[in-house]
């Protein structure tokens, strides 16, 4: 377990609708002989005190992973902010000693092994309450560090304001950016389409250690 940053709960966002993949759970698609979710967890789990999966529908489909599943309580598939709120609420209720969560999408098979440490280092260096990742020229607002103390503000934004854009919410509070190179493999490559799945398979073959 990491000791160079505060205890941090890992939140895997697996609640998307996967429309461009024809529906279903993208996280259970396989690349390199294992599911995308298993690949992501093998990299992310060692960085966190424990893992919670955010997903809607029957939680039993994740039973083999052995992690608790927290569903959105904001109706109508309100997007990743609703998933982040579910994680913050789960932490507040079940792990009151944890003040931070780190979020990653469940379709991100190359998540960096230094993610949580670098996100915390960025927010501390810039004296901001939040941090998110950037690789190359692309920001990844779903990949971030969130203080549990913001859950009330986030619930208000979702329920009372109808706000669903992550970057609008984070801009209100202040956010630091942690940088990663996007070559030879973008660590935040995510699988949205069948073409992405084929590309991920090729990346695994080309970069055996990824």
Tell me if the bond preceding 184 is cis, omega within 30° of 0.
yes
> What is the per-residue pLDDT for 3?
52
> What is the per-residue pLDDT for 1?
39
Structure tokens that stand for 68 in this block: 């608790």
Q: What is the mean pLDDT of residues 55-81?
A: 90
Examine the pLDDT at 127 and tell me if it is beyond 60.
Answer: yes
> What is the per-residue pLDDT for 18?
46
Contacts of 163 (CB under 8 A, 6+ apart): 81, 157, 169
Examine the pLDDT at 124 and tell me if it is beyond 90.
Answer: yes
> What is the per-residue pLDDT for 193?
85
The mean of the pLDDT values for the chain is 90
Phi, psi of 3 (to 5 degrees): -125, 0
Query: What percentage of the chain reaches a pLDDT higher than 70?
Result: 91
Q: What confidence tier does 205 reach under pLDDT thresholds 50, 70, 90? A: confident
Examine the pLDDT at 166 and tell me if it is beyond 50.
Answer: yes
- What is the distance between the alpha carbons of residues 174 and 151, in angstroms, rounded to a whole number? 15
Contact 140, 132 (CB under 8 A): yes
Contacts of 45 (CB under 8 A, 6+ apart): 10, 51
Give the 3-state secondary structure of residue 22: coil
**Domains and their CATH numbers in the chain:** 8-206 (3.90.550.10)
């Amino acid at each position: 377990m990491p000791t160079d940053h505060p205890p941090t709960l890992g939140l895997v966002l697996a609640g998307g609708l996967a429309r461009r993949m024809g529906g279903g759970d993208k996280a259970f698609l396989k690349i390199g002989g294992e599911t995308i979710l298993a690949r992501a967890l093998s990299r992310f789990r060692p960085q966190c005190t424990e893992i919670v999966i955010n997903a809607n529908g029957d939680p039993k489909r994740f039973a083999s992973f052995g992690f608790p599943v927290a569903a959105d309580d904001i109706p109508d598939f309100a997007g990743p902010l609703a998933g982040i709120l579910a994680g913050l609420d789960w932490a507040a209720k079940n792990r009151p000693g944890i003040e931070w969560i780190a979020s990653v999408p469940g379709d991100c098979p190359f998540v960096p092994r230094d993610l949580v440490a670098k996100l915390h280092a960025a927010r501390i260096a810039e004296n901001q309450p939040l941090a998110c990742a950037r690789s190359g020229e692309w920001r990844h607002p779903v990949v971030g560090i969130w203080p549990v103390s913001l859950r009330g503000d986030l619930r208000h934004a979702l329920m009372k304001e109808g706000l669903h854009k992550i970057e609008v919410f984070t801009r209100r509070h202040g956010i630091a950016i942690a940088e990663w190179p996007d070559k030879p493999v973008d660590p935040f490559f995510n699988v949205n389409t069948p073409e992405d799945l084929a590309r991920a398979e090729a990346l695994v073959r080309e970069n055996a250690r990824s």
